[in-house]
Homo-oligomer: A and B are copies of this chain.
């Protein structure tokens, strides 16, 4: 299992690019072939394949080739890692607000 840190790095880097985000958005609706992805994106097939490699390495997309056509679909791992990171941040941040709340409560008592 790769370190979660490295995974999160990859996922954020992957989704940092608007074209790759567009690909993920398309694929959350339905699986598509590489050419089907390329057509509306207005970039070359080669570029799309390069994006797909990044997305696959980051666990956001899974692709499988049957015959001469490569079918791409969303994979859960990537988005899950992303969500985990957000949850971690939020829990740290809320814990801090809780402590702050405690302090305020204490000072209320002493009045």
Contact = CB atoms under 8 A, between A and B. Distances in A.
Interface residues of A, number: 24
B86 A74 contact: no
Contacts of A90: 28, 79
> Is the contact region of chain A dominated by helix, strand, or loop, or is it mixed?
helix
A32 interface: no
A28 B94 CA distance: 9
B25 A18 contact: no
Contacts of A15: 12, 16
Contacts of A68: none
Given A12-B15, A16-B15, A86 B92 contact: no
Interface of A: 9, 12-13, 15-18, 21, 24-25, 28-30, 74, 79, 82-83, 86, 88-90, 92-93, 96
